[in-house]
Chain A
Amino acid sequence: EAGVAQSPRYKIIEKRQSVAFWCNPISGHATLYWYQQILGQGPKLLIQFQNNGVVDDSQLPKDRFSAERLKGVDSTLKIQPAKLEDSAVYLCASSPGLLAGKSSYEQYFGPGTRLTVT
């Protein structure tokens, strides 16, 4: 079974530029998450989708961050414009979904995209 795929793996941009990250979850997984991991810290949830609907975006800085999952499969996360403090690893994770019983509690992570804002 293929894991969670993310691209690009690395991105360097200047502040005030825009950037987009892509995620393809494990096939059949209804729930998709985007986390931000700043160096030396644990991942922090940005947004959660159930199929193509948003479940939780309370921690997403909506003035500059946006995310979509139009067809309920892959997802993009965009930052526009980027700030220095956005330098972090952006992790995508997926899980089978709220109706999948016990296995819905297992989240599987992709390798992440490391963003450096200069």
Chain B
Amino acid sequence: GEDVEQSLFLSVREGDSSVINCTYTDSSSTYLYWYKQEPGAGLQLLTYIFSNMDMKQDQRLTVLLNKKDKHLSLRIADTQTGDSAIYFCAERNQAGTALIFGKGTTLSVSS
């Protein structure tokens, strides 16, 4: 079956790096995603990675994919208070259409 697991909470200090981890079960997943959700808002697409890549970097964001272990991580460099939000990892479902989401990781950034 399809399942995505994430740790629920992460607390960091402003300026530090944050690493949010995710594991998924469907080895046939082609794309894996990171979304950000701020209170009362919808989900904002941060980045995504194709399964034939190991790493993708986009400004302060670095995505690492270990396909063998089915492990995905999101690193945020120089974390700011505005990065405080819930971060969702998602994989595409077996039909290749909709997304299967984890429960989200709440990132708290203190100054």
Contact = CB atoms under 8 A, between A and B. Distances in A.
Interface of A: 4, 31, 33, 40-45, 48, 55-56, 91, 93, 98, 105-112
Interface of B: 4, 31, 35, 40-45, 48, 88, 90, 92-93, 95, 97-104
Contacts, number: 51
A43 B101 contact: yes
B8 to A, nearest CB: 9
B42 A112 contact: yes
Main secondary structure of the interface of B (DSSP, over half): strand
Contact of B99 (A41, A45, A112): A45
Contacts of B100: 45
A110 B37 CA distance: 11
A107 B45 contact: yes
Contact of A48 (B41, B48, B98): B98
Nearest to B8: A40
Contacts of B88: 42-43
A57 to B, nearest CB: 11
Contact of A106 (B48, B93, B97, B102): B48
A111 B42 contact: yes
Contacts of B92: 105
Given A105-B31, A109-B42, 9 more contacts: A33-B98, A41-B103, A42-B4, A43-B99, A43-B101, A44-B101, A105-B48, A110-B42, A111-B42
Contact of B98 (A40, A56, A106): A56
B103 A107 contact: no
B28 to A, nearest CB: 15
A85 to B, nearest CB: 17
A22 B43 CA distance: 18
27 contacts: A4-B42, A31-B97, A33-B98, A41-B103, A41-B104, A42-B4, A42-B88, A42-B90, A42-B103, A43-B88, A43-B101, A45-B93, A45-B99, A48-B97, A55-B97, A56-B97, A56-B98, A91-B42, A91-B43, A98-B97, A105-B31, A105-B92, A109-B35, A109-B42, A109-B45, A110-B42, A111-B42
